[in-house]
Structure 1
Amino acid sequence: MRKSFSSSLILSLFVLLMCVPFLLTFVYSISTEWGKSILPTGLTLQWYEQLYADPRFIQSVVRSCLLTFGTLIAVLIIVVPSIVMISIYLPKAEKFMKPTVLMPYAIPGVVLATGLLRTYSGSPVPLTAVLSGGIFIYALPFMYQSIHNNLREVDAKTLMEASEILGASKLQAFVRLLLPNIKIGIMVGSLLTFSTFLGEFQITNMLLGGDFETIRIYMLRVMKINGHLSSAVVVTYFLLLLMISAVIVKATSRKSYKLMAGQEETTLSISEMKGSASNELLND
């Protein structure tokens, strides 16, 4: 009883600690003035009306979403097959793969942006593509760890070997058997990547500055003009992340039952295959 009460108390304090800053930011974003008293002197929605009527804000949100989604699609197309290939067919290379993929954590964003700027500033490669490449590098650890853990849970090597014995090609086994079983890992990695890099500021600001105004650069510019307006930007940014996260989590929860059923059917198929193979050997 005491343990349950203490756990509930700690959880409640944690939720309160996480929610209070957001609630105060929201109240400040709808206040007319809040500086000389404990409570705001009045409430208004003029800051949100001004924000959503600004075409630069809409453009910054669109740029941020396009940049993040474009990089995420590239990560999924390139990284997912690479991780599967290395985990199943080149397991010895994993000891080199893991430290290489996790290396971006040791490189500060300022160092990476400076190196990219010195390398590509005089080249014909557009800096927007260079920016996507920098975000791609930083997204590798999130996607690698999520998919790698999921591959170990579903025993990917056994699934691939069983499907190939049953006559499926490597591509068919990957698309129709393995990919559905690692959807949870892909969705978790996608969620981490999107939520982290939607508000990326350091690399974007150093490479492109005001020429490519994302939502974080817009928020920094507005912060110098009006604190209420910048608070409205922060609230909108977090609500956008919350909606996207809710969609991904809901999609993941729907898929989980199908994946469990699919894994059970796959296990039964493998067991039946082993039994038939044993019978054939005994008959021979």
Structure 2
Amino acid sequence: MKKLIKPILFCFVLYYLLPIIGTTLYASSTKWSKSLLPSDFTLQWFQQLLTDREFIAAVGRSLLLAGVVLVTILLLMIPTIIWIHLYFPRLNRWLEKLLLLPYALPGVILVTALLRTYAETGIPMFVVLVGALFITALPIVYLSLNNQMRLINLKELVDAAETLGAPMSTIIIQVLFPNIRIGVTLVSLMIFSSVFGEYMLTNLLIGGRFQTVRIYMLRRMNENGHLASAVMVLYLLFMVGIALTTFMLTYRQKQQLSLKQTREEKQSKKKPLKEL
């Protein structure tokens, strides 16, 4: 059985890498029809893409949407989770179950309900879209930050800081935030990458009036496959960069936890010696 592990893993890696390699080759070719490999290689599609004003505008819109959603989530959720942990810890069990409901609601049904509710209210659809993305991102944000709060013993930190006379604003900025900084960064990267590449809600709620990178890519796919492949390659590089950053931050967090555990073990070993 152990001998089969490496061939199986190799098949899985090959299965995932072949489409990426094929897309990259197609984005770097002028013609590829009757041969195993492209007949000619070029970077003109990437040059044409990076000089296209519509593409730059689409990237800007995607960054704007991801930034607005991310800032809204962090500003609302971090104080809320701190408040719940300090004053209403019993709500955690119910909120963890309740916040899984967005996963059970299909996106098409959500869009239909939002259009019927807000179409004639005068509220801009961009605001409705931000709210919809906020709701869909709640499970990831709440569960991740909630685990981070438990990990740092939030209640004990706040009680210790309050006994020293520190106000709540100082506690949040100088005590809590440095301890949850890596966790907040990881959540931010996950939310930013998911919203940046979001397609369904944006297309159904706003459509061509707010053309993001994914909408631009699918439109180009019907016009020029080489350009669409170039967009996909750049988007993939962006996601790989975010994934590597997330991996590095996660590894750093694990190192900090291991150092903290070793310090606690050393302190626990020294205490009996002092008592003797």
Scaled by the length of structure 2, the TM-score of the pair is 0.86
Change (3 A) 1:115 1:189: same
Alpha-carbon distance between aligned partners in 2 of 1:6 and 1:123, rounded to the nearest angstrom: 61
Of 209, 218, 221, the residue aligned with 1:220 is: 218
1:175-194 alignment runs, 5 A limit: 175-194=173-192
**What amino acid is aligned across from residue 31 of structure 2 in structure 1?**
E
Alpha-carbon distance between aligned partners in 2 of 1:89 and 1:199, rounded to the nearest angstrom: 37
Change (3 A) 1:122 1:150: same
Structure 1 partner of 2:94: 96
Of 151, 160, 167, the residue aligned with 1:153 is: 151
**What amino acid is aligned across from residue 196 of structure 2 in structure 1?**
L
Match of 1:148, SS state, is helix
Structure 1 partner of 2:63: 65
**What amino acid is aligned across from residue 219 of structure 1 in structure 2?**
M
Q: Which moved more, 1:6-15 or 1:158-167?
A: 6-15
1:255-270 alignment runs, 5 A limit: none
Q: Would the aligned equivalents of 1:31 and 1:44 in 2 still touch at CA under 8 Å?
A: yes
Q: CA deviation at 1:30?
A: 0.7
Alpha-carbon distance between aligned partners in 2 of 1:12 and 1:73, rounded to the nearest angstrom: 41
- What number of residue pairs does the alignment pair up? 267
Structure 1 alignment gaps of length 5 or more: 272-284
1:196 has 2:194 as partner: yes
Scaled by the length of structure 1, the TM-score of the pair is 0.83
Alpha-carbon distance between aligned partners in 1 of 2:69 and 2:211, rounded to the nearest angstrom: 17
Structure 2 partner of 1:243: 241
1:25-36 alignment runs, 5 A limit: 25-36=23-34
**What amino acid is aligned across from residue 172 of structure 1 in structure 2?**
T
Q: Would the aligned equivalents of 1:61 and 1:215 in 2 still touch at CA under 8 Å?
A: yes
Q: Which moved more, 1:14-23 or 1:200-209?
A: 14-23
Structure 2 partner of 1:140: 138
Structure 2 partner of 1:114: 112
**What amino acid is aligned across from residue 27 of structure 1 in structure 2?**
L
Change (3 A) 1:235 1:156: same
Q: Which moved more, 1:57-66 or 1:188-197?
A: 188-197
In percent, how many aligned pairs have the same letter? 43
Q: Which moved more, 1:49-58 or 1:14-23?
A: 14-23
Q: CA deviation at 1:247?
A: 4.5
1:230 has 2:228 as partner: yes
Structure 2 partner of 1:20: 18
Q: Which moved more, 1:40-49 or 1:197-206?
A: 40-49
Q: CA deviation at 1:257?
A: 6.4
Change (3 A) 1:193 1:51: same
Superposed CA offset, 1:41-94 (max 9, x none) = 221112112212211011001100110011101100001111121123211111
Q: CA deviation at 1:198?
A: 0.9
Change (3 A) 1:263 1:186: farther
Structure 2 partner of 1:274: none
Alpha-carbon distance between aligned partners in 2 of 1:258 and 1:176, rounded to the nearest angstrom: 18
Of 204, 207, 212, the residue aligned with 1:206 is: 204
Change (3 A) 1:264 1:72: farther
- RMSD across aligned C-alpha pairs, in angstroms? 2.7
Change (3 A) 1:248 1:136: same
Q: CA deviation at 1:253?
A: 5.8
Alpha-carbon distance between aligned partners in 2 of 1:6 and 1:185, rounded to the nearest angstrom: 37
Q: Would the aligned equivalents of 2:49 and 2:227 in 1 still touch at CA under 8 Å?
A: yes
Structure 2 alignment gaps of length 5 or more: 269-276
Structure 2 partner of 1:282: none
Structure 1 partner of 2:170: 172
Q: Would the aligned equivalents of 1:79 and 1:144 in 2 still touch at CA under 8 Å?
A: yes
Q: Would the aligned equivalents of 2:99 and 2:139 in 1 still touch at CA under 8 Å?
A: yes
Superposed CA offset, 1:95-122 (max 9, x none) = 2211222211111111111111111111
